Structure 1
């Protein structure tokens, strides 16, 4: 059982009428993995999540915990939890009543209430909840009953900093126990702290699927360079067709040109003052990848 993927998509295409929203999506999620499903607005992130849950018309194969998912047939999702778009809660029930509808284990439910610090309002009707309260209740519902895979669409939406940290730690702890996660979020800085692999989607197609460590290497491919005469350095780089970006007090160059740059500056008598790897945040890396894809 340990060798079975928590989730497997094989050439999955999703349709609304004759319009293709997602085309030939293929990726897997292993037990304990935290996959960040990222991309621009309208790229197809939520559509993929709905497809996995059998809520949309699709072709191809979706397998959850070894069982195939079919449209409007949710038997394969017994050990899956999900929060898609808006928490599926009943406004005229209390938070505890909403949880009780889904909970198989009272102790598990009580632990989640405590972990997410919902005790002060869990007995109030959900219609009076703030966005953050509703979000935490939706996350608790998704995590009930020790699911083998959890699908979360914008889980940090509406959460304050303290709640965001708590949710992040909870996700990490569940993953350490073997629960797999597929998470979409616009708050990439938070997602970067927990995810183990990046699946990047654009225009309904998966354009990148990499381990986080491999993906983050992209951030080391640019260097911050300062010389005693940046104006002259720019002329030298232009003359020798070295690509660079000029900033106010420094230049940005590619890792592949570093040795050539050092030799050129030495030969031209320009002293190098500083050269450092330029760390890019996740947002910047994603933008760079998308720009390359678009040409």
Structure 2
């Protein structure tokens, strides 16, 4: 559906996006994740033809260039703030972009906006404006939807509702590229992750691969924990303690097994530690910064 190849974006002489390459497949939900200032919004604006760039961006096999935005006709987007006119009603705002009345009213129903859709948008709360912006992005059955912080300002019920809609649309073949700092919610819908730092892609894989690659910590428990701690210290094995367990890296397991055997310590439990998705993201970013510092 969408492919970026060696894309660079500049603001003045400063390179903001550096050789970014990734793909968004049909029906996939790709999470674009990174710290503030990493370049997430700039990447989205670049895809939409809002900034000058070098490299190649193709949408459904057709190249997007500075003078050719025609491939974007089947793309819906919400970038930074909803593009709404405050002195028009919510419905009038939708009509400006809609080409299918039935589709438009279905989206109003899906997002549960009926109670206020005929009111002037200037009186909308932040959450109501956000839902209207999402509704605009979903109009006209887009093939690709780009959402920048779509959960911003939404209450719990609206967040769950938007999550269900994303899953519903993606199951019908619509692709999504979503940036969000609410990683717990993003994790529930995305099928792939593109992790960026300082304008560079540092991870680009499926969510399953991402979790597998980063699950490097193991918990172990023995029949004699004080002796185990002393033995690991004697052999300079790096470890940490979590409640009544010891947490070690995967690479240390072979040495630890030999140490336990030599000291007649019985291993009672060894299991993979399951960090949260947020922990995996933070660890990946720290590892990247560490490798950059070494260079």
Q: How does 1:60-79 map to 2 (within 5 A)?
A: 60-71=55-66, 73-79=68-74
Q: How many residues align?
A: 290
Distance in structure 1 (CA, Å) of the matches to 2:12 and 2:127: 35
Which residue of 141, 157, 163 corresponds with 1:168?
163
Q: Give the superposition deviation at 1:72.
A: 6.7
Distance in structure 2 (CA, Å) of the matches to 1:224 and 1:198: 26
Q: Give the superposition deviation at 1:222.
A: 1.0
SS of the aligned residue for 2:32 comes to strand
TM-score by length of 2: 0.93
Q: Which deviations, in whole Å up to 9, do the C-alpha atoms of 1:232-261 show, x marking residues without a partner?
A: 323322333433123453321123333542
* Aligned partners of 1:80 and 1:148 also within 8 Å: yes
**Match in the other structure for 1:281:** 276
* Aligned partners of 1:219 and 1:281 also within 8 Å: no
Q: In the alignment, does 2:269 pair up with 1:270?
A: no
**Match in the other structure for 1:210:** 205
* Aligned partners of 1:94 and 1:123 also within 8 Å: yes
SS of the aligned residue for 1:134 comes to helix
Q: Which deviations, in whole Å up to 9, do the C-alpha atoms of 1:149-169 show, x marking residues without a partner?
A: 010001111111111111111
What is the root-mean-square deviation of aligned Cα atoms in Å?
A: 1.6
Q: How does 1:1-295 map to 2 (within 5 A)?
A: 6-71=1-66, 73-295=68-290
Gaps of 5+ in 1: 1-5
Q: Which deviations, in whole Å up to 9, do the C-alpha atoms of 1:48-77 show, x marking residues without a partner?
A: 000001111211111122222223753221
Distance in structure 1 (CA, Å) of the matches to 2:31 and 2:87: 34
SS of the aligned residue for 1:242 comes to coil
Distance in structure 1 (CA, Å) of the matches to 2:169 and 2:242: 44
Distance in structure 1 (CA, Å) of the matches to 2:289 and 2:198: 11
Distance in structure 1 (CA, Å) of the matches to 2:233 and 2:192: 38
SS of the aligned residue for 1:119 comes to coil
**Match in the other structure for 1:3:** none
Gaps of 5+ in 2: 291-295
Q: Which deviations, in whole Å up to 9, do the C-alpha atoms of 1:2-50 show, x marking residues without a partner?
A: xxxx211111000111011000001111111111100111100000000
SS of the aligned residue for 2:49 comes to coil
SS of the aligned residue for 2:82 comes to coil
TM-score by length of 1: 0.93
